[in-house]
Amino acid sequence: NNAFHDNFLDIDFDLSKVMFIATANNLATIQPALRDRMEIIELTGYSVEEKVEIAHRHLLPKQASEHGLDAAKIKMEKPSLEFLIEHYTRESGVRNLDRMLASITRSIAKSIVMGERVNYTITPSRIENILGKPIPREKYENNQHAGVVVGLAWTAVGGDILFIETSLSPGRGRLTLTGNLGGVMKESAIIALEYLKAHATDFQ
């Protein structure tokens, strides 16, 4: 606000001794001139086990408090937390997990306000009732389908597995690439086709 801004300007300090801390999911979006003046500290994503502990010790109690609930009454065991993490969040951090827990605690708070019977036990089936159908797992997860290969992609919120599907049709032997593929992926597909052409006799 204006009062804070005015007081801040009156403070006498040496800017050369001021340290600013910033966070980012993607370093590529930071201007090179600014990035050169930053000390980069890389933080890897959390494992499922770490997310379970963070949710149990910090996120769930915080959301319960913010929604006027007693955290000690809410019973959310490890299998339920794992179900929530694996089926409703796809991220290296815990922001989305925090949002999901907020939705669950809001559902409990709503039951209290509406005078309904309150159930403080959170099971996987109840999570599904509150949050809807879970994010479907890929049907090619085990890669047992012909014409499907597995690739890895980098995203701002962690890695992701890509399932690249091919189809064969009559034509002149041209390669058609669909989707928003980057240069490296396109190059890989062209190399694969050239390999097939070079070994066409072996593969019939």
pLDDT, average across residues 32-61: 90
Neighbour count for residue 63 (Cβ, 10 Å): 24
Question: What tens digit of pLDDT does each residue of 155-176 get?
Answer: 666 667 777 787 777 878 788 8
The pTM assigned to this predicted structure is: 0.59
Phi, psi of 153, deg, nearest 5:
-130, 150
Q: Which two tokens stand for residue 142?
A: 């085990």
Give the relative orientation of helices 78-88 and 124-131 as an angle to the nearest 10 degrees: 40
Better-predicted residue by pLDDT, 70 or 4: 70
DSSP 86-116: HHH---SSSHHHHHHHHHHHHHHHHHHHTTP
Element holding 129 (H helix, E strand): helix 124-131
Show Cβ contacts of residue 43 under 8 Å, excluding neighbours closer than 6 positions.
Answer: none
